[in-house]
Chains A and B, each alone.
Chain A
Amino acid sequence: MTANDQRTTDLNKVLNRRRIVNLTGLAILNLLISLWMGQQAYNWMPPQASAESVLVDKLFSFMTTVGTFIFLGVIGTLFYSILFQRAAKYDDTDGPPIEGNVKLEVIWTALPILLVIWIGTVSYQTYDQMSILGDIAPKAMETVQTVPLPVEPKKMVATGVEKPAEAAPIEVRSRQWSWEFRYLQQGISSTELHLPVDQRARFKLISEDVLHGFYVPAFRVKQDIVPGKAIDFSLTPIREGRYRLRDSEYSGTYFAANQTNVVVESAEAYEQWLTTVAATEPTAAENVAQAEFNKSQETSARRGWPTIKPAPAPIVNYTSSEKDSHE
């Protein structure tokens, strides 16, 4: 009897040890797959064209790793049950009456709490480093003409290159449905946003009618533009190229067409552009909303429902085209 008992305990020990080894092996496998997914996550994003994008992608990769680990762990367990723990065809008895397990429940309450603290801390640090947003506390309604004193320069992003003198903010004007960028120092305007690479770019976001959203996916930043407020916004481009700028807050009929391009270029090319454009006479820009609206007024067939009339195409020194290529 005792010998038998002894043998059973020994067998149990061996089985237990084997189970622990197996589980550890599976956990390591899961971890490896999760780390690989975390690396893949970088490829799902647009090009990294700003200092902020580097930070956001790193955060996303981290969260993808953690998320994959949890997802595979839970789904793997479920699949094992579904595959190997099915009731036999005529077996209508019940399973073991296990109603709970305090140790297990404490673990799976504590684990998410720790994870949340971890992800929360990383996110907080990332946001702090980005520091894209100026003081947004409700101010007196700033009229469009008043350009307030430059706010105290925010902490620079690590990868951003310090610039001795803060450039004046570029005024971003959003309308139904066009974008206009005003370089107040140079007294020029454009429907394409030009920025020098590796310098902190500062914006004053203004809407002339409804809510719009300033969104450049390659920069990973976005800010709603609220009519009646001028919002200080900043970012640091780090990669030359032409990227898409999209309206990200639904703004009515031609919302989808309310996009333009951002050109990030070397400091010399940027200065060159400013001087060339300053010498150009302002003309009416190409405008998709206007063109479509006019066409819909002419042909009655596919007019759809009445719409707000688009604002007139902006009169600017430099006008971009929808046909321009972008990354």
Chain B
Amino acid sequence: MSNATLEPLRPNQPPSNPSPEPGTPENWRTFFSFSTDHKVIGIQYIVTAFIFFLFGGLLAMVMRGELITPESDLVNRTVYNGLFTMHGTIMLFMWTFPMLNGLANYLVPLQIGARDMAFPRLNAAAFWMVPVFGVILITSFFVPGGPSQSGWWAYPPVSLQNPTGNLINGQSLWLLAVALSGVSSIMGAVNIVTTIFRMRAPGMGWFKMPAFCWTVLSAQMIQLIGLPALTAGAVMLLLDLTVGTSFFNPELGGDPVLYQHFFWFYSHPAVYVIILPIFGVFSEVFPVYARKPLFGYKVVAISSLLITGLSLIVWVHHMFASGTPGWMRMLFMITTMTISVPTGIKVFAWVATIWGGKIRLTSGMLFGLGALFAFLFAGITGVMLASAPFDIHVNNTYFVVGHFHYVINGAVVMGFYAAIYHWFPKMTGKMYYEGLGKLHFALTFLGINLIYLPMHPMGLMGMPRRVASYDPEFAFWNVLASLGGFLLGVSTLPFLLNMLSSWTQGKPAGDNPWNAIGIEWLVSSPPPHENFEEIPVVVSPPYGYGSDEPLVSNNPAGKPIAEAMSSSEMEGAIA
């Protein structure tokens, strides 16, 4: 903790930033301010997003409560339809994207040896849009007519039917929030891409950059290419809804299928925006806890970019059962299946990284492995779904719901937990309680499989998604899924308890409790404002486990050079 009293290094530091240690609990007020420190913004993103995650999860638990019986009995059908619409919207736009932006914000500058993001004020502005459109979205629960009830796809013509006739209705507020979210994400993407291109430390060539930064770069490039399509689609739909244009309204000669193309041109690649950074987390976490270099690092890095490219030419697989001709179905079936090649390379590389290592099952590692398990399963059902003739049977059924929840809740949320357990000591300077972490893992892993596995047989049997009631033959699997859902709700309690109590009362973690290799582990925990006393000079590729090559040739934290260069086994003792 030698850096705790470091003076700000640059004269142009804004006076509104008095905190040299944004992670310490004493300075919690910083988190409610317009801070331009990427670490503060990163944590702001993560905490805000997690609150929305709890809210979206609560909506899901009400839905599972409704679905525990075949009849529509717990809530009115309109309420159920509003619930699944808001659940999907909140989980994607208010939880997943902001959460991943938070991880990227916190980690990228630290990992590439930069003092902050390229545009700190833009960064803060992009973050503060999140609570704004979050409030807009939540407000739509209270307008006459309730929130949007057209699903998170908002397909017209259903989304254009406006039973109240008001100009201000749930659907228009929803569209406004989604458009704002798009703008915020584009601002974030510009910032992150610029930072990675322009602000890497001296010596950090592309193939010395950590895999997490590679995946974040690949993901944010998708945002830049794809989001304009969605935002345009949302604006056109808003115009159709409010001023009566006819882009998508078939009654006036519009084409509802055109909207589906706009929507999926972005919203499928969006899945890769979500999963790629989690791939990055895997690539960071597994080497540390297996004590081995990332297997085939360069290929793993490049395959992220391949996924970016391929992700842009697969969107029609969401529309196999829609108004698409046969040739389109076949073409997009092939492109979609191709994506399994770079993804497969990554999966095999992680397995090879773990193989023959010296494995330590910390909470971070357990969640990483659980997420990999879920991702593998989802990847296999994903290839099945890519096959058009099979998809035509299960499209819009619970099979798809099970598949993508294995990706989002299985791989992404468990991957997020892996990241949090791994970097929590860095972010706060405190160590979490391992026992609570393992309890959290056991409950989460059990809950996820109990809720989402039964959805596959439901879907194969033909239960459509988005139904508020269903035929009795599906009841057995639905009861299991509902129990899993409630268990998943309970599983967040040990996590919250762990994080809150560790942050306030945890033992000091030291600079590098995992004995990990990476620039972020060379500075104190939490890192000082502007991160580095001296910009690191990178001389080795990342993940040099088992070899004694130094990662950097200087002393970014202002400590004696020997300490910074050798692996930092002693630092725990110093802290």
B31 contacts A by Cβ under 8 Å: no
Q: A67-B383, A67-B384 are in contact. Are A46 and B75 (CB under 8 A)?
A: no
Q: How far is the CA of A98 from the CA of B352 in the complex (A)?
A: 9
- Distance in Å from the Cβ of B569 to the closest Cβ of chain A? 7
**Distance in Å: Cβ of A111 to nearest Cβ of chain B:** 8
Taken together as a complex, chains A and B put the C-alpha atoms of A60 and B330 apart, in Å, by 17
Interface pair B150/A100, CB less than 8 Å apart:
no
- Give the residues from 195 to 243 in chain A that come closer than 8 angstroms, CB to CB, to chain B: 209-211, 213, 215, 217-218, 220-224, 226-229, 231
Checking A44, A96, A119, A255 against B337 with a beta-carbon cut-off of 8 angstroms, the contacting residue is A119
Q: Does A36 reach chain B (CB closer than 8 Å)?
A: no
B466 interface contact, C-beta 8 A: yes
Looking at A23-31, A158-166, A268-276, A300-308, the stretch in contact with chain B turns out to be A300-308
Given A71-B380, A222-B392, A248-B395, also A85-B358 (CB < 8 A) = yes
Q: How far is the CB of B531 from chain A (nearest CB, A)?
A: 26
Contact of A81 with B296 in the complex, beta carbons under 8 Å = no
CB-CB contacts below 8 Å: A107-141 with B: 108-109, 111-113, 115-116, 119-120, 123-124, 126-127, 130, 132-133, 135-137, 141
Interface-lining segment among A7-15, A87-95, A142-150 = A87-95
Q: A105-B345, A306-B164 are in contact. Are A85 and B464 (CB under 8 A)?
A: no
B545→A94 contact, CB < 8 A: yes
Of A85, A250, A306, which is in contact with the most chain B CB atoms at under 10 Å from its CB? A250
Q: Point out the residues of chain B lying under 8 angstroms from A126, CB to CB.
A: 387, 389
Q: Would B464 and A247 count as touching, CB distance under 8 A? A: yes
Chain A contacts of B345 at CB under 8 A?
105, 108-109, 112
A224 touches B358 (CB 8 A): no
**Is there contact, CB below 8 Å, between B396 and A226?**
no
Are A305 and B295 neighbours in the complex by a CB distance under 8 Å? no
B151: A residues at CB distance < 8 A = 250
One of A132, A136, A141, A257 near B325 (C-beta < 8 A): A136
The smallest C-beta distance from A230 to any residue of chain B, in angstroms, reads 11
- Interface residue ranges of B71-102 to A (CB < 8 Å): 72, 75-79, 81-82
A245-B163 Cα distance, complex, nearest whole Å: 27
Min distance, Cβ A229 to any Cβ of chain B, angstroms: 6
List residues of chain A with CB within 8 A of the CB of B465.
Answer: 250
Cα distance, A123 to B457, chains bound together (Å): 21
Of B75, B157, B351, the contact of A304 (CB 8 Å cutoff): B75
Q: Mark B236-278, 1 if CB is under 8 A from A, else 0.
A: 0000000000000011010111000000000000000000000
A contact residues around B369 at 8 Å (CB): 78, 82
Q: Known contacts being A127-B330, A226-B250, is A256 close to B462, with CB within 8 Å?
A: no
Instruction: Pick the residue among B81, B157, B356, B469 that contacts A257 (CB under 8 A).
Output: B469
| A-side contacts of B322, CB under 8 Å | 224, 226, 249
Considering only residues 48-89 of chain A, those with a C-beta below 8 Å from chain B are: 55-56, 59-60, 63-64, 67, 70-71, 74-75, 77-78, 81-82, 85-88
- Is B565 an interface residue, CB under 8 A from the partner? no
Q: Known: A63-B383, A71-B380, A226-B250. Contact between A93 and B358, CB under 8 A?
A: yes
Beta-carbon contact of A96 and B334 below 8 Å? no
Compute how far the CA of A96 lies from the CA of B354 in the bound complex, rounded to whole angstroms: 11
Using known A-B contacts A95-B356, A256-B72, determine if residue A45 contacts B341 with beta carbons closer than 8 Å: no
B360→A86 contact, CB < 8 A: yes
A251 interface residue (CB < 8 Å to B)? yes
Contact residue among B348, B359, B384, B395 (Cβ-Cβ distance under 8 Å from A108): B348
Assess whether A81 is in contact with B355, with CB atoms less than 8 Å apart.
Answer: yes
User: B547 in the interface, Cβ–Cβ < 8 Å?
Assistant: yes
Q: Given the complex of chains A and B, what is the CA–CA distance between A264 and B338 in angstroms?
A: 39
Q: Are B293 and A98 in contact (CB under 8 A)?
A: yes
- Given A74-B351, A91-B358, A94-B546, decide whether A136 and B460 contact each other with a Cβ distance below 8 A: no
The answer to whether the Cβ of B506 comes within 8 Å of any Cβ in the partner chain is no
B383 to chain A, nearest CB (A): 7
- Chain B, Cβ-Cβ closest to A121: B334
Contact B321 A211 (CB under 8 A): no
Residues of A within 8 A of B337 (CB): 116, 119-120
Does B329 sit at the interface, judged by CB under 8 A?
yes
Q: Are A127 and B354 in touch, CB under 8 angstroms? A: no
B515 within 8 A of A: yes
User: Of A119, A137, A229, which contacts B387 at CB under 8 A?
Assistant: A119
Chain A contacts of B494 at CB under 8 A? none
| B372: nearest chain-A partner, CB-CB | A78
Contacts of A59 in B (CB 8 A): 387, 389-390
CB of A209 within 8 A of CB of B354, answer no
Judge if B25 is at the interface, Cβ distance under 8 Å: no
B515 CB contacts on chain A under 8 angstroms: 92
Distance of A59 Cα from B347 Cα, bound (Å): 25
User: B292 an interface residue at 8 Å Cβ cutoff?
Assistant: yes
Residues of chain A lying within 8 A (CB to CB) of residue B38 = none
- Min distance, Cβ A91 to any Cβ of chain B, angstroms: 6
Q: How far is the CB of A45 from chain B (nearest CB, A)?
A: 6
Chain B 443-456 against A: per-residue CB contact (8 Å), 1 yes, 0 no?
Answer: 00000000000001
User: How many residues of chain B get a CB closer than 8 Å to chain A's CBs?
Assistant: 104
Q: Is B560 an interface residue (CB 8 A)?
A: no
A123:B333 contact, CB within 8 angstroms = yes
Shortest C-beta distance, A293 to chain B (Å), equals 10
Q: Shortest distance in angstroms between B521's beta carbon and chain A's nearest beta carbon?
A: 15
Residues on the B chain within 8 Å of A133, using CB: 325-326
Complex Cα spacing A254 to B161, Å: 14
* Shortest distance between the CB of B292 and any CB in chain A (Å): 4
B299 interfacial contact with A, CB 8 Å: yes
User: Chain B nearest CB: distance from A160 CB in Å?
Assistant: 16
| A96 touching B462, Cβ below 8 Å | no
The A-contacting residues of B in range 288-336, CB under 8 angstroms, are 290-299, 321-326, 329-330, 333-334
Q: Which residues of chain B come closer than 8 Å to A231, judged between CB atoms? A: 323
Q: How far is the CA of A99 from the CA of B390 in the complex (A)?
A: 39
Q: Which residues of B contact A254 (CB under 8 A)?
A: 77
Shortest CB distance A106–B (Å): 10
Q: How far is the CA of A113 from the CA of B471 in the complex (A)?
A: 41
What A residues does B326 contact at CB under 8 A?
A: 127, 133, 136
CA distance A132 to B302 in the complex (A): 40
Q: Is B155 an interface residue (CB 8 A)?
A: yes
Given A109-B341, A124-B333: A100 in contact with B295 (beta carbons within 8 A): yes
Q: Give the contacting residue for A56; candidates B164, B354, B389, B469; CB below 8 A.
A: B389
- B392 with A227: CB separation less than 8 A: no
CB of B393 within 8 A of CB of A304, answer no
A266 CB–B CB distance under 8 Å: no
Q: How far is the CA of A209 from the CA of B161 in the complex (A)?
A: 10
Measured CB to CB, the nearest residue on chain B to A130 is B389
Contact of B354 among A81, A137, A302 (CB under 8 A): A81
**Cβ–Cβ < 8 Å partners of A253 in chain B:** 77-78, 81, 149
Quick check: B323 and A220 within 8 Å, CB to CB?
A: no
- The CA-CA distance from A5 to B162 in the complex, in Å, is 84
Is there a chain A Cβ closer than 8 Å to B34's Cβ? no
**What is the CB-to-nearest-CB distance from A37 to chain B, in angstroms, rounded to a whole number?**
12
Kindly identify, within residues 266 to 316 of chain A, every residue whose CB is under 8 Å from any CB belonging to chain B.
292, 296, 302-308
A218–B381 Cα distance when bound, in Å, is 21
Task: For chain B, residues 421 to 464, give those with C-beta under 8 angstroms from any C-beta of chain A.
Answer: 456-457, 460-462, 464
How far apart are the CA atoms of A305 and B170 in the complex, in Å? 11
Judge whether B467 and A255 touch: CB under 8 Å. Answer: yes
Most chain A CB within 10 A, of B257, B322, B393, B457, is at B393
B162 (CB) vs chain A CBs: closest residue:
A308
Residue of B nearest to A227 (CB): B250
Chain A nearest CB, measured from B451 CB (Å): 18
27 contacts between A and B (CB under 8 A): A44-B457, A46-B461, A59-B387, A81-B290, A82-B354, A85-B359, A94-B546, A95-B356, A97-B545, A98-B356, A99-B295, A100-B299, A105-B299, A111-B344, A112-B344, A120-B333, A124-B330, A141-B253, A213-B464, A220-B392, A231-B323, A250-B153, A256-B72, A256-B468, A296-B76, A304-B146, A306-B146
Known: A126-B387, A211-B158. 6 other contacts (CB 8 A): A59-B390, A82-B369, A126-B389, A226-B257, A227-B251, A254-B77
